[in-house]
A and B are shown apart, each in its own frame.
Chain A
Amino acid sequence: DIQMTQSPSAMSASVGDRVTITCRASQGINNYLAWFQQKPGKVPKRLIYAASSLQSGVPSRFSGSGSGTEFTLTINSLQPEDFATYYCLQHNNYPSTFGQGTKVEIK
């Protein structure tokens, strides 16, 4: 099974900061990687698919990059509504696997 190692597990940041979250796959997953945002008590929302494609309706301050085994989610100019937990998901091989999550908190 493919393991997804997501880092950091938590971070504190200020409004306006640039935030970078990384997911490393235990083996190559092509670009079959998505990023999700989840706020407390809410349904996960897809932000990025195919590693770097922005989901329709998602602000352009969110971007994804990477290929093979290392992937990054970047949030440029963090906004108050961006404080949430973020997850990566690989679906190149089954079982599909999520990263452990990154909680982005207010500094």
Chain B
Amino acid sequence: EVQLVESGGGLVKPGGSLRLSCAASGFTFSSYSMNWVRQAPGKGLEWVSFISRSSSYIYYVDSVKGRFTISRDNAENTLYLQMNSLRDEDTAVYYCARDPGGSSSSDVWGQGTTVTVSS
């Protein structure tokens, strides 16, 4: 079964850091690009970041540039999101999503992990 499982969320103070993980199983992780998507409480979906299969291409939404870093370990079948200098507005459920590439995107999603930034 194709599966993505996020972990690493929690409560953190403004200015703090967290590292999210997304463990992939049931498919050849190294053959897929990956996305992070978030959803603030009561709000819509917001795309956060993309990483290509070999990490050659990486993109971020402007609001997280310089603070978040996406990475992956294809040997461990794991995607990461290092989040530094966290702000109140980063409070959200964070999802990882598989990206098959070409005209197909975000076909499989994890269950999400909740990040709360609050003093």
Contact = CB atoms under 8 A, between A and B. Distances in A.
B95 interface: yes
B103 A96 contact: no
Interface string A4-41: 00000000000000000000000000111010101000
Contact of A44 (B50, B59, B62, B109): B109
B47 A101 contact: no
A88 to B, nearest CB: 10
Contacts, number: 66
Nearest to A91: B105
Nearest to B45: A98
A24 to B, nearest CB: 16
B71 interface: no
Contact of B103 (A44, A49, A87, A98): A49
Interface residues of B, number: 22
A55 B60 CA distance: 27
A15 to B, nearest CB: 25
Contact of B104 (A43, A50, A87, A101): A50
Interface in A51-102: 51, 53, 55, 85, 87, 89, 91, 94-101
Interface of B: 35, 37, 44-47, 50, 59-62, 95, 99, 103-107, 109-112
